[in-house]
Structure 1
Amino acid sequence: MTATRTIDELLAQYSDSHRNHTNELIHFVCVPLIVFSLLGLLWWIHPAVAVAVAGASLYYYWKLSRPFAFGMLVMALLMLSILAALPPVTVLPLSIAIFVLAWIGQFIGHIIEGKKPSFLDDLRFLLIGPVFVLSFLYRRLNLAY
């Protein structure tokens, strides 16, 4: 008998409240936007804070799955690069607007789904959401995680 990996268990649990196709599509858009907006809020405090939090989350992903950690590294670098390219005065208002709109989208998705967000039961799911979205890309590209 093969032991189930923690990442597989977390993705399976997260999937339980993300089965509706519309909710999944909303998550594909809103989860990356939420990550970007959170990095933006941290960037506004200081770019080193955003980099440090991204690094800490990447360490968590590394412990769960090295392929997912690599994918999240690519996404973090892309998002941090965009933040670095933005005029500093726009980072805070843009991040707040994206954060609010993306969370509204998430909650609409869960109303459609008829289930509460997973993170209300376990805060780890705030970090699993992005790899849940990434897992669809990995499966489509036939990449192991």
Structure 2
Amino acid sequence: MSAPRTIDTLLAKYRESHLNPTNEIIHFVCVPVIVFTLLGLLWSVHALLALAVVLAALAYYARLSRPFALGMLLMSALMLGLLAALPPATVLPLSLTIFVLAWIGQFIGHKIEGKKPSFLEDLRFLLIGPLFVLSFLYRRLRLAY
């Protein structure tokens, strides 16, 4: 019997603090929003900074799972495209406001769950959160990851 893949171990560990259905729904909304607004905050410094962070995250995702890396590439491309389409003066205030609100939502979800956020134990879980959300879509579409 082979050892579980790193991605499977990370997702299982992340799932331990995301079992409450209400918390899951909050995460399905807030995690992608946080990714988008984080990219928006970086974009407001410089578009190349946002792109560099996406490329670094994609390199990490590719080591964990090529199908997840592809999904995150598509999601990131959509987000960066939307940021490019927004009026530049709106990116920072919009991103900052929604970033804060989405994190408040996350902490409310964890209050409901009764467990602290996973990233407080291991910062890698900040990168695993989006894959946790994506894993639900992949399973629904019967896509292997």
TM-score band, normalised by shorter chain: over 0.9
List aligned pairs for 1:71-110, cutoff 5 A: 71-110=71-110
| Deviation, structure 1 residue 64 | 0.2
How many residues were matched structurally? 145
TM-score, normalised with respect to structure 1? 1.00
Q: Offset at 1:70?
A: 0.1
Partner letter of residue 26 of structure 2? Answer: I
- List per-residue Cα deviations over 1:70-114 (Å, max 9, x = no partner): 000000000000000000000000000110000000000000000
Distance 2:4 2:118 in 1: 20
Q: Secondary structure at the match of 1:84?
A: helix
Q: For residue 136 of structure 1, what is the amino acid of its counterpart?
A: F
Task: Output the CA distance in 2 between the equivalents of 1:133 and 1:22.
Answer: 14
In the TM superposition, residue 3 of structure 1 has moved relative to its aligned partner by: 1.4
Unaligned runs of 5+ in 2: none
Aligned-partner residue type, residue 25 of structure 2: L
Q: Partner of 2:116 in structure 1?
A: 116
Unaligned runs of 5+ in 1: none
Report the counterpart of residue 16 of structure 1 in structure 2.
Answer: 16
> In the alignment, what sits opposite 1:53?
53
Structure 1 residue identity aligned to 2:58: L
Output the TM-score relative to the length of structure 2. Answer: 1.00
CA distance in 2, matches of 1:98, 1:11: 26
Alignment partners' CA distance in 2, 1:104 and 1:53: 23
The ranges of structure 1 where at least 4 consecutive aligned residues each deviate by more than 4 angstroms after the TM superposition are none
Residue in 1 that maps onto 2:7: 7
Superposition deviation, residue 2 in structure 1: 1.8
The residue aligned with 2:66 is 66
Letter in 2 for 1:58: L
Q: Secondary structure at the match of 2:122?
A: coil
Determine the C-alpha separation between the residues in 1 that align with 2:75 and 2:94. 19
Specify the alignment match of 2:137 in structure 1: 137
- Per-residue Cα deviation, 1:11-68 (whole angstroms, up to 9, x for no partner): 0000000000000000000000000000000000000000000000000000000000
Q: Does 1:28 align with 2:50?
A: no
